[in-house]
Amino acid sequence: MVTAVSDETHLELLLSRLARLKLLSQAVDRGDRGQLVALLDEVEKIKRELVRGREQVGSEMARATTRTTAITAYARGAGAPVRRH
């Protein structure tokens, strides 16, 4: 599992890559197809990494929800009065 610190660092790296790409895009010769394709490729790579990160967060949220539900059910069951016939 990835720690929160490394997740933050990874996000910061992605944001700095985006900032670098923004600067590069301003300096690109609009007629240079090779440079434009390279920029688009980098943007797609970053997009895929962000989507992957979003999916990981969604998965972690689902697990946390399941755990919370289980703990709540256990706590209710543990606190329920014992029925005697």
Tens-of-pLDDT digits for all 85 residues of the chain? 445 568 788 888 888 998 999 898 888 888 899 999 999 999 999 999 889 888 988 999 999 999 999 988 888 888 765 456 5
Question: Which pLDDT does position 44 carry in this prediction?
Answer: 93
pLDDT recorded at residue 10: 85
Q: Would you say 46 and 18 are in contact if contact means Cβ atoms under 8 Å apart? A: yes
Alpha carbon distance 10, 12 (integer Å): 5
Which pTM was predicted?
Answer: 0.64
pLDDT value at position 15? 87
